[in-house]
Each structure stands twice: as structure tokens, then as C-alpha cells.
Amino acid sequence: MFNQRTKIKALLQTTPIDAKVTVMGWVRTFRNNQFIALNDGSTNLNLQIVVPLGMLGEDILKRITTGASLKIAGTIAKSVGKGQTIELLAENVEILGDCDAEKYPLQPKKHSLEFLREIAHLRFRTNTFGTVFRIRHALAFAIHQFFNERGFIYLHTPIITASDAEGAGEMFRVTTLPFDGTPRNEDGSVNFKEDFFGKSTNLTVSGQLEGELGAMAFSEIYTFGPTFRAENSNTTRHLAEFWMIEPEMAFCDLEDNMNLAEEFIQYIIQYVMKNNADDLAFLDQRLAEEEKQKPANERSEMGLIEKLNFVVNNRFERITYTEAIQILLDSPAYKKKKFKYEVSWGIDMQSEHERYLVEKHFKKPVIVTNYPADIKAFYMRLNDGCEPGKQTVAAMDILAPGIGEIVGGSQREERLEKLLQRMENMHIPVEEMNWYLDTRRFGTVPHAGFGLGFERMVQFVTGMTNIRDVIPFARTPKNCNF
Amino acid sequence: MFNQRTKIKALLQTTPIDAKVTVMGWVRTFRNNQFIALNDGSTNLNLQIVVPLGMLGEDILKRITTGASLKIAGTIAKSVGKGQTIELLAENVEILGDCDAEKYPLQPKKHSLEFLREIAHLRFRTNTFGTVFRIRHALAFAIHQFFNERGFIYLHTPIITASDAEGAGEMFRVTTLPFDGTPRNEDGSVNFKEDFFGKSTNLTVSGQLEGELGAMAFSEIYTFGPTFRAENSNTTRHLAEFWMIEPEMAFCDLEDNMNLAEEFIQYIIQYVMKNNADDLAFLDQRLAEEEKQKPANERSEMGLIEKLNFVVNNRFERITYTEAIQILLDSPAYKKKKFKYEVSWGIDMQSEHERYLVEKHFKKPVIVTNYPADIKAFYMRLNDGCEPGKQTVAAMDILAPGIGEIVGGSQREERLEKLLQRMENMHIPVEEMNWYLDTRRFGTVPHAGFGLGFERMVQFVTGMTNIRDVIPFARTPKNCNF
């Protein structure tokens, strides 16, 4: 048995002075042939190891380099140095794995995020990425805990799907057909009957429609899985492969939906603030230093932790789409023609508009409701009693400072006739969707749900500006390494 | 706001006699124009609603059919009927959604699992599948809780990958290239530089290799995500899309690995026994009735709950592969030539062999260790000191009664030279794997991990014999519905 060790996180929390312990981890720095900063990934904090002078031979000392892995036994003592309360007085040091300092890409200095993206297989070993992915883990766990506490059923909706009804974007084909000697029909078209599933299949863009099937039996379900977009968007906000959380609730209207989404976001942020205080403190500091490099007028008004506290302690603003458009039309920005895109009732709001509402006007997260039907998906519930030409749907988007849209949701159209009419208008193939329509034929109920882009949430909580830095291995156009 | 209701599970647990409540759900049965069995998916138990005679008109009464959705307000009372302790005396009944009894595929009778597989979008509404998917949820949550409590980081390894090194099976291609007018190189081969990722990509067969990268920074990580096999296996044990859990631990050897796997399996089963007692009782009963249909000599020796208790309360048997082969050679089954496949040192044990060991010989879960190197993957650690011609690796498979292999794991080869040698022998392209090899170049450590097939685990806990019945929407050859 190899694994008799104490994790550094537990050690630092319990500070068991005089305890004999064994720790294992990787060297972050080694100073003066005496002080090893050891990290085992359980926390962003290092344990200081003090090697008594003369205890180790020159041959061992020179192998204690950044990145080398060590097993160290010793005694915990109060630290007189600054930056830590305890340290480990080494009694035995064993080198588990060497790390050639000449060849190791990670040096004990600040590397650019761009460089670290190229060596994503090693970047987990840095302070920044160690912290980001511990927070990503904590958010994921908090999400499961939130829904489990409320009796939601975690539903694994399919990844490979033959449905292309949602029209949420370009899709990746999944196939076992060869490009050479592709089976063909008599008319020359590809014979997908010969494909693995006997039809043309894609990677899912959303689990919502299948999620609704679950909600019609369990009342409340959620999904948490990978989704895909084959869009050629090389931006800091887009990934070809990303993770989504999609709760779906029966017996639920738009207001319930908003209440749940707000409670949910506050819950998972609070969870991280409680369980990852050290990690957040590190990122708060990191961001503050980054801000100092910026011109004064571009700096954020709040620090990271301050921002998270603000979001947790304040209700989100709730306005209708119609009100949002009016605010934009009344804004100094509009009057000074500072918006690049037009503003009028019916537009799909652009990023500049959303940012104005969130960052300039309200300075807090905003939930915008009741969007024009023409710019929203077929399954959203038509609002009754709209003015002629101003038909809206019971949609809601949550906009967050610095991120933009973080949640998109709606009450679903539960009335079969209205849904059929709308699908026809939007050219959705009804006959392929009978399984979905059955939920409206047999015991339909008012229901609603939303989708949260997980990486956007991780960005919001960590303050990382590039979405590629919050997923372990980013998939983007022309990039599929590791 | 729509959603002011009490969930039936909570109601039945707290039995608040005389409380005024509102419940919502779907009708399971309606007897004597008076007794509604209402289910809302929070539990497999129904709430009995008593409708006072004469309270509802004929027009409403005839719309209360199996599958219809209702909102009912009333008062909780002690039940005098059998099968429940409380019931709801209805004061107001609102029909939310009708369900045409003539057309509704689910009738209040027993349907075959085969039929329900065809209407997988509705089968969540049956007792059996409601129960199976609540247990699936509970197992998933227990898995996250187990690892989170122990400080493991949940790592989302990539779904789309360019790596084909593991050789774990046939893969699905992911592409945006067209079959008509496929871009070609000068030599006529497909020009994958034009594909979305600029290279040929597939759906992942395992997150292990990327998981090892995480373990070399966080010490302990786990994955829980979908994996894929494009194998044309139409069996009750195989899916083209399934979910896997893959923990990976630094500073860990084979024994630690076995200890963790055993503790893990016992933990998640215990969680379900504690949190889903009603669901398990239903399945236990269901299985007992199924067993009665079988000839006496084919019946299981244990009931479902009895089996789970046994697994939780007994250590798994641990034997080496060499010992396993000897047991088979010494067995009456072998001597009577009852095995279809040969038995000798070096074989990849067949299902009949594994079942003999688990179900006949030991009658409990068995961990088999130290398999011949020739039948195992390149990354498994070569054991030192083997007899000539009998080189083994530090692998371990856990075999479960009725399921067969449920866990496959190993200590990994952490020694760069030995790993390179083995990759060369097995024709693994070393140059494409430099990112993986970097973990052995820079601070390598002894490490180990395993993979658990989630659906096999759900089968084990629910007693469902067909793997298609434990995943919401099964993907199998020529089948990709919903």
C-alpha cells in the first residue's frame, strides 16, 4: 500500500503541531537548499518543508527542482517565516520522480495564459489553473447538490441524436460511413440506412426536449452534460464543446422559473465562497493586479469577491423586453449614437445593448422577460393578450455583468393546438416530433425550464476572460489537442 | 406563480393529518368514481385522493382518466383503506391536461419491457421505470458525493478527441465534411485539414489518459461523462453511448486502487439503500415475481435487497489471475467439459469463466488481479519479478454476480523507459502521445485508477437484465430514437 499520506489542505486546516506526517506532492520552488514549497493539488496553498542543513547530500539536493515529485516524512512545527502558520521539519525526503529543469516548460515565474493554453496538459500544475479547476469542481458539485436537495432527478439525455428540430445552431455529424466508397441510394444521395444508427445522426445541441419528457413524469429533472456547436466562431466566448445544465419543471410558470434560476445562481456562488475561500482569494488578488495594468477608466468597479458578494446579496433586476428597449432608447448612449446596432422593438439585442443594461444602467444581473415571438424558439409559450404585431413569448434571459447571457429559459407552450400552429409557421417537421408532441397530448401541464452554460458560470465566478481557460481541454475551430 | 404545491414524497413522509395542501400530478388509476391514485414522480408511491360523491359533475368525472394531469386542493386525513396511512380528501379538483384513454399507450396494466422500450418517451411514467431512473439519479449523486467528500476533483475530459491511442474499440467519426464533394488531397485521400478541427476526430472511448494529466496536478480526480463504442453488438450488455466514471489517483498503487473501488461500490449501494428504500422494495418485489416464472433451478439464490446487503457487508474476494485460472482448471465444470472456451494461462477469460468464479465458486464479488500483459492495455504497470513467459501487469477487474465485469482498473506504468518500450511493442504512435508521456518526464509518480460502467452499476442495483432499460434513451445499432 502506497497511499499513506496527509493531504496538504487537511494539514493546513488542522495545524497539528508536533504531529508526525508523511506528505507527497510536487515541488513548486526550492530556496536556499533549505525551503521546499510543496503542492499536492488539494489546495492552492503550498506546504513549506524545512530541510535541515546537511541532512541531504548534494546529489539529492540538486534533484529537488520545480516539478519534481517528493515523498517527505517529518514533524509539523509552528512557522516563524511569513506567509504560513505551520511548516514541516523534514526527517526523510524521497524523490519519486525527477523533473529536468532544463526541459520543464513550467518555470517558477509568471507564464502568459496563451502559452499555458498550448501546454494545457501541464497547466493544471499552475496556481491559476489549479484554482480555476478546483472552483469548476466545486460549482459542479454545488449544482448537483442544489437539485438533489430539491428532489430533481438527474437525467442523462442523449449525446448522439437524430433530432435536428431545435435549430439551435450548426451540428457535428456522427457517422461510421466511409468517405471513400460511401454507400449511395439509386438517386446518388448518401444511403444513411447503412450508417451505424440507420439514419443521419448528430451531436446534441441541447437536452431540453428530452428533458421535458422526463419532467412530465418526475415533475422536476435536470440535465448536466456536454453539448456541441459546429460554429466557426473563434472568440473568447465560444467553444465547440461545452457543458450545459438544463432544469425542467412541471407545474411551473415563468415567475417560478425566474425564482428558481436566481436562487440557483446564488446558491452555487455561495457554495464556492464557503468552500473555496483560498482559491477565490487568490483569484481576487490576481484580478486586482491585472486591473492595475489597465487605464483607470477601464477598470472594474468591483473586485471579484466584492462582485460575488453583491450578486449573492441582491435580488436580480427583472424587466420586460419592452421595458429594456425603452431604457435603451432613452439612454445617453443611444442619443449620442454610441450603439453600433439599431435599437427598436423586435430586435435581437446585441451584446452592446445587454452590457449597457447590466453594466451601466442597473449595475447588477438583469432578467429580461417576454421577448418577441419572432426571435425565439418554437417551444416557448405564446403570451395571451399581446398588442397586434407585438406577440411575445414567456421567455427569460439572465444577463450577468462581464459575461452577458448566462441563462436562457422560458415557460413552454403546453397547449397542443398553439404549439402545432407555431411549429407549422416555423417549418418544424411535425411528423418527426410526435414523441415530443405526445407530452401535450397526454396529461399536458404548464411547465418551464432554463439552460445555464456551465463554462460561462465558471468564467463569472473565477473572473477568467477567455472561455478556453475554464474548460480542461478546449475544442475550438482547428483545435482539438490532448 | 403556479408552483405552490406539496410533493407527494414529502407528504407521505410527514403525514400532516388535517393539513390543507395542494398537490399536482398524473392519474395512475381512478376507481369507483371516487378514488384517484395520483403520482407526481417524487416517489413510486401514489397518493390516494378521495373525491366526495356528488362533488364533481359527470363531465369532469369522465375526464379523470389514467394519464390526465390534475391539481387538487384538500385536507389530509388518516386512511382507513389498506396500502396507505394517509389520504387526501379533495375539496377542489382542476384538470390541467386531459388524456384520451382510447389513444394513450399506457394502460393501467402490466406492459412488457419490450413494448415500453418502443415508447421510451412515456415509460418514465410507469412504476418500473420511475423507480429505475430515481435510483439512477441517486447513484449518480452518491458518486459525486463520495468523491467530493474525499477531495477528488471532477474533471470534464473531452468528448471529441483526435486521440485514437487507447484502442479500446471502434470509434464514431465526428465531422463537418460533406460526403458529396469531400475535400481531397492531391493523392486522393480525404483532406482533414478542411474538417472543423483541422484533423480527423472521434468520440471518446475513455477519459483516462486525460484524467492522468489531472491526477498529476490535483493528486486525485474523477471523470463522469459519456463514452462511445461503434461496435455492432446487439446484446443486453452493450450500448453505443454509455456513461463512465473514471477516478485516477496519484501516490497510489494497485492495493490502494482495489481498496478505493471496493469502498466506492459499497458506499453508493448503501446510499441507495438508505435514500431509495421504497424504490428498492418495489424492484425487490418485481424481481421476486419474475423469478417465480422461472424453473426452480434457474432462480436466483438471493432477492435483490438481500444481494445488495450481502455486497455491502462482505469484503470482495481478491485473487490473482493465475489463481483464477487454477480454480477454473480444478473445477467440476472444467472436468465435465462444460466450458465452451478453452482454459489455460494467457486466455482472456470469457463470460462463462467469470460467472463460474463469481456465481458458483465464491458466490460474491471477486477482484482478479495481475493479468497477463499480452491481453491488457499499454499503460498498465509491468509487474517486476515475473516468471519467464508469464509477464503480468498490475491490473484489477471487479466481477459482480449477474453482471460480470463492472470495474476495470490498474496501476499505471509510471516509468518512462518501460512505458516507451511497451508502446513500441504494441505499435502505439509515440510521437502523437508526447503530451501523455510528459507526465512521466516531469515529476512522475506511482498512480492508479479504474473505470466503472455506470449503466452496469445501475443494472446491478436495480436488477434490470437489459442495459437498454437503465439509460433514458438507448443508442444501439440501427436505433437512435427520441
Whole-complex ipTM: 0.97
Q: Quick one: pLDDT at residue B167?
A: 59
* H or E element in which residue B130 lies: helix B127-149
State residue A371's pLDDT score: 98
The rounded percent of chain A whose pLDDT value lies above 90 is 90
At A300, the pLDDT band (50, 70, 90 cuts) reads: confident
Mean residue pLDDT across chain A: 95
Write b or e for each residue in B41-73: b if 16 or more Cβ atoms lie within 10 A of its Cβ, otherwise e.
Answer: bbbbbbbbbbbeeeebeeeeeebbbbbbbbbbe
Q: What is the pLDDT of residues B5-46, one digit of tens each?
A: 999 999 999 878 999 999 999 999 999 999 999 999 999 999
Pairing between strand A47-50 and A86-97? parallel
Residue B3 has what pLDDT?
73
Task: Identify the sign of the CA torsion B87, B93, B95, B96.
Answer: negative
Compute the C-alpha angle A66/A68/A71, nearest 5°. Answer: 125
Rounded average pLDDT over A340-347: 97
| pLDDT number for residue A165 | 59
Query: Are B1 and A256 inside 8 Å of each other by CB?
Result: yes
* DSSP string computed for A305-350: HHHHHHHHHSPPEEEEHHHHHHHHHTSHHHHTT--SS---TT----
Matching fold, domains A8-108 and A125-170+205-469: no
The pLDDT of residue A297: 83
Q: At residue B166, what are phi and psi to the nearest 5 degrees?
A: -75, -30
Element (H, E) at A472: none
A80-94, A130-144, A244-258: least confidently modelled range: A80-94
Burial category of A1 from C-beta neighbours within 10 Å (exposed 0-12, middle 13-18, buried 19 and up): exposed
pLDDT for A108 equals: 84
Q: Which residues contact B371 (CB under 8 A, 6 or more apart)?
A: B321, B392, B393, B395, B397
Architecture of domain B125-170+205-469: 2-Layer Sandwich (3.30)
For residue B141, give the nearest of A144, A90, A207 by alpha carbon.
A144
pLDDT of residue A167: 59
Which residues in chain B come in under a pLDDT of 70? 1, 164-169
Contacts of B130 in chain A (CB under 8 A): 217-218
Is A256:A447 a contact under the CB 8 Å cutoff?
no
pLDDT exceeds 80 at position A66: yes
Q: What are phi and psi of A105, to 5 degrees?
A: -70, -25
Closest CA to A465 of A280, A270, A287: A287
The 3-state DSSP class for residue A439 equals helix
Helix or strand (DSSP H, E) at A13: helix A8-14
Nearest CA among A170, A172, A193, A190 for reference residue A182: A190
First to last CA, chain A: 31
Q: What is the largest CA-CA distance in chain B?
A: 88
What is residue B297's predicted lDDT score, i.e. its pLDDT?
83
Q: Which of A175, A179, A480 sits opposite B199 (nearest CB)?
A: A480
Interface touch B176/A174, C-beta < 8 Å? no
Which of B2, B249, B436 lies at the smallest CB-CB distance from A446?
B2
Out of B40, B220, B442, name the one closest to residue A104 (CB): B442
Model pLDDT for residues A284-294, shown as the tens digit of each residue: 999 999 999 99
Among the listed ranges A57-61, A94-98, A108-112, A140-144, which one has the minimum average pLDDT value? A108-112
What value, to the nearest 5°, has the Cα angle with vertex A28 and ends A306 and A124? 60
> Cβ–Cβ of A438/B121 closer than 8 Å?
yes
C-alpha distances (whole Å) from B278 to each of A153, A201, B12, B281, B474 are 16, 38, 11, 5, 26
pLDDT at B92: 97
Express each pLDDT in B186-226 by its tens digit. 999 999 999 999 999 999 999 999 999 999 999 999 999 99
CA-closest candidate to residue A196, choices B147, B69, B174, B283: B174
- Nearest-neighbour CA in chain B from A340: distance (Å): 31
Residue B119's φ and ψ, nearest 5 degrees, are: -120, 55
The fold of A8-108 is OB fold (Dihydrolipoamide Acetyltransferase, E2P) (2.40.50)
**What percent of chain A is modeled with pLDDT above 70?**
99
Q: Is A169's pLDDT higher than 80?
A: no
Place of cell 413494448: B115
| Residue B18 Cα, gap to closest chain A Cα (Å) | 24
Residues with Cβ within 8 Å of B263's Cβ and at least 6 positions away in sequence, in order, are: none
Q: Do B35 and B48 contact (CB within 8 A), yes or no?
A: yes
In a 10 Å sphere around its CB, with 0-12 CB exposed, 13-18 middle and 19+ buried, how is residue A33 labelled? middle
Q: Give the chain A residue whose CA is nearest to the CA of B251.
A: A3
Contact residues on chain A for B158, CB-CB shorter than 8 A: 241, 472-473, 475, 480, 482
Q: B441-452 burial string, b = 16+ CB within 10 Å, else e?
A: bbbbbbbbbbbb
Q: Do A472 and B179 touch (CB under 8 A)?
A: no
Strand partners, A71: A24, A94
Take residue A326 and report the three cell numbers written for it. 425603452
Instruction: Identify the burial level of B413 via C-beta atoms within 10 angstroms of its C-beta, where 0-12 means exposed, 13-18 middle and 19 or more buried.
Output: buried
- Domain limits of chain B? 8-108, 125-170+205-469
Q: Do B482 and A210 touch (CB under 8 A)?
A: yes
Confidence (pLDDT) at B166: 59
Element (H, E) at A87: strand A86-97
Which of B118, B442, B482 best probes binding to A when mutated, by most A CB atoms within 10 angstroms?
B442
**In 3D, which of B51, B52, B20 has the Cα closest to residue B36?**
B51
Q: Choose among B178, B278, B422: nearest CA to A182.
A: B178
